[in-house]
Structure 1
Amino acid sequence: MKQKNNIKYFSDRSFINSIPHEIVEALRSHGLVAPDMFKIYFCGVISYDDNIAVFLPRNHGINEGKEAESGYYLLQALHKYFQTKESGLNDQENGDHFIGGRAFSLIVNLFNDYQLNGLYARRVKEHTINSGKVNWPRTIARNTPYPSNGKPIYLDLITSRSRYITNCETAKIHAQVIRELLSHYGFLLLGKQNIIDEELERLEKPLGEKKQQIKYLERELRLSYSERDIFLIKGLIQYIKDKKGQTSSDILIGVRKFHSVWEAMLDECLVGKYVVNHKLPIPYYQTNNNEFVAVSKKGQRTDTVIQKGNEKRFAVIDAKYYDAKSPQTAPGWPDIVKQLFYQQAVSILEGEDAKISNHFVFPGDLAELKSAHIGKRNKKIEAINDCLSQYEPIYCHYQSPMELISAYVKNTKLELLSSEIFLST
Structure 2
Amino acid sequence: MPTVRSSAMRTVYIRERSFHSPVSLARTLGIGLDDADRYIALLCAHGVLRLRTGDEPKEYDPLGESAPRGTYQFVYVGLALVESVCIVVYPKYLPEIDPKRPDDATCAAMSQVFRVLRKSGGSYASIAAATEEGMGANDRLALMLSLLEMYDEYGVYSNYVRTIADNGSGNISWERTIAANLPFVRDGRPIYFDYKTVETDADASDFVTRLHRAVLTECSRFMQESGLAQLLALDEVWLSDSSVADFGDADFVAYRLERERAVQFVTWKQDVIDLLVRYVRDEGMSATSDAPLCLGTSSFHHVWETACKVAFGDVLAVRLGELGIELAPPFAGMAEKRLIDVIPRPEWAALGAGEERACGEVATLIPDIVTVRGAGGRAAAGGGTFAILDAKYYTPLLGERVGGVPGVESVTKQFLYQAAYRDFVLAHGFSRVVNAFLVPSCGDAVEHLGRVRFPGVIAAEEPPFSNEVELYALPAEAVFDAYVGGRELDAARLAEVVG
**Pairwise same-fold verdict (TM > 0.5):** yes
- Cα distance in 1 between the residues matched to 2:476 and 2:251: 44
Q: Write out aligned runs for 1:26-425 (5 A).
A: 26-30=42-46, 32-37=48-53, 38=71, 39-61=73-95, 64-66=102-104, 67-83=106-122, 110-115=147-152, 117-131=154-168, 132-141=170-179, 143=180, 145=182, 148-149=185-186, 157-186=195-224, 187-188=227-228, 191=231, 196-197=236-237, 199-202=238-241, 205=244, 207-224=247-264, 230-238=267-275, 240-241=277-278, 243-247=282-286, 248=289, 250-271=292-313, 273=315, 275=317, 276-288=339-351, 290-296=356-362, 298-308=363-373, 309-311=378-380, 312-326=384-398, 327-351=402-426, 353-354=429-430, 355-365=432-442, 369-375=449-455, 389-390=460-461, 392-415=467-490, 416-423=492-499
Tell me the CA shift for residue 54 of structure 1. Answer: 1.4
Q: Look up the SS of the partner of 1:397 in the other structure.
A: strand
Q: Look up the SS of the partner of 1:328 in the other structure.
A: coil
Q: Could you tell me whether the CA contact under 8 Å between 1:128 and 1:160 is conserved in 2?
A: yes
Amino acid across the alignment from 1:335: S
Q: Deviations over 1:157-195 (max 9, x none)?
A: 443211113343222222233224323445545547897
- Cα distance in 2 between the residues matched to 1:128 and 1:284: 79
- Cα distance in 1 between the residues matched to 2:409 and 2:44: 32
Q: Could you tell me whether the CA contact under 8 Å between 1:221 and 1:233 is conserved in 2?
A: yes
Q: Deviations over 1:303-328 (max 9, x none)?
A: 00122233431111111112212423
Q: Look up the SS of the partner of 1:324 in the other structure.
A: coil
Q: Could you tell me whether the CA contact under 8 Å between 1:123 and 1:165 is conserved in 2?
A: yes
Higher mean displacement: 306-315 or 272-281 = 272-281
Q: What is the aligned length?
A: 402
Where does residue 9 of structure 1 map in the other structure? 13
- Cα distance in 2 between the residues matched to 1:103 and 1:74: 22
Higher mean displacement: 207-216 or 340-349 = 207-216
Where does residue 380 of structure 1 map in the other structure? none
Where does residue 383 of structure 1 map in the other structure? none
Tell me the CA shift for residue 404 of structure 1. Answer: 3.0
Amino acid across the alignment from 1:304: I
Amino acid across the alignment from 1:252: C
Amino acid across the alignment from 1:55: V
Unaligned runs of 5+ in 1: 378-386
Q: Could you tell me whether the CA contact under 8 Å between 1:5 and 1:50 is conserved in 2?
A: yes
Tell me the CA shift for residue 363 of structure 1. Answer: 2.3
Amino acid across the alignment from 2:299: K
Q: Could you tell me whether the CA contact under 8 Å between 1:79 and 1:104 is conserved in 2?
A: no
- Cα distance in 2 between the residues matched to 1:357 and 1:196: 48
- Cα distance in 1 between the residues matched to 2:234 and 2:150: 21
Tell me the CA shift for residue 369 of structure 1. Answer: 3.8
Unaligned runs of 5+ in 2: 54-70, 318-338
- Cα distance in 2 between the residues matched to 1:120 and 1:5: 31
Question: Would the alpha carbon gap of residues 347 and 14 (structure 1) be closer, same or farther in structure 2, given more than 3 Å must change?
Answer: same
CA-atom RMSD in angstroms: 3.9
Give the TM-score of the pair, scaled to structure 2. Answer: 0.68
Tell me the CA shift for residue 358 of structure 1. Answer: 0.9
- Cα distance in 2 between the residues matched to 1:239 and 1:417: 48
Q: Could you tell me whether the CA contact under 8 Å between 1:60 and 1:402 is conserved in 2?
A: no
Q: Deviations over 1:190-238 (max 9, x none)?
A: 54789754x424455461344544443344345446x5xx314413523
- Cα distance in 1 between the residues matched to 2:96 and 2:372: 31
Q: Look up the SS of the partner of 1:323 in the other structure.
A: coil
Where does residue 57 of structure 2 map in the other structure? none
Tell me the CA shift for residue 422 of structure 1. Answer: 2.4
Question: Would the alpha carbon gap of residues 48 and 267 (structure 1) be closer, same or farther in structure 2, given more than 3 Å must change?
Answer: same
Q: Look up the SS of the partner of 1:351 in the other structure.
A: helix
Q: Could you tell me whether the CA contact under 8 Å between 2:388 and 2:435 is conserved in 1?
A: yes
Tell me the CA shift for residue 258 of structure 1. Answer: 1.8
Q: Look up the SS of the partner of 1:331 in the other structure.
A: coil
- Cα distance in 2 between the residues matched to 1:365 and 1:204: 44
Q: Look up the SS of the partner of 1:171 in the other structure.
A: helix
Question: Would the alpha carbon gap of residues 278 and 291 (structure 1) be closer, same or farther in structure 2, given more than 3 Å must change?
Answer: same
